[in-house]
Amino acid sequence: MKINSTLQKGIKNKSLWLGLILLSLAMLSIAWFYQYVLDEPPCVLCIHFRLLFIVTIFFSIIGLLSRNTKLGNIISAFGVLASFSFMAERAYQTLGTERRFINSECSFGLNFPDWIAVDKWFPSFFEPLTSCGYTPEILFGVTMAEALMVFTVVMTLFSLWVFILSLLRKPN
């Protein structure tokens, strides 16, 4: 299996981890663009996505720094998998709220404990400013909720594959 062999080398290579960092930074930039250029205020679920992309960056940095060790690969791959899995759940909630197949309420507060009150520390990026239930159209009638659902499922499956390969990796 050439693809698995290539990815096995990829989890030891900088490109996988740098790619995940750049992807997450791009998604955070898109969030800023929608908030500050297109004037689309974020809801609580949007803020959760932003935080989870930061978690993805954190674990990708761990993967980048520890890419030559099996344990480092396992920890970072699991962290990225967990992050995208939580994002997929949040995307399902977002889509369900938008389409009304989930009866959900969305407050304006994150209700995080004081030790992680990011909405108070960095309100310009982490403060929810609107209620859930609407996401803007991105392109060709596809809403942000629909696009996030597809994106997070694909990334969760990819992350699962990377995690399994990190478990199967031969120790150095």
Angle between helices 14-32 and 2-10 (to 10 degrees): 70
CATH code that applies to domain 2-168: 1.20.1550.10
pLDDT along the chain (172 residues), means of 10: 56 85 96 91 87 96 89 92 95 83 64 71 72 79 89 96 85 63
If you count DSSP H runs as helices and E runs as strands, how many of each does the chain have, helices first? 7, 2
Residue 4: per-residue pLDDT: 53
pLDDT of 10: 61
Question: Residue 105: what pLDDT?
Answer: 61
Residue 29 identity: S
What are the residue boundaries of the structural domains of the chain, listed by start?
Answer: 2-168
Amino acid 47: pLDDT: 87
Residues paired with residue 107 on neighbouring β-strands, in sequence order: none
Residue 152 near residue 84, CB atoms below 8 Å: yes
Cα–Cα distance measured from residue 69 to residue 154, given in angstroms and rounded to the nearest whole number: 26
pLDDT at 18: 94
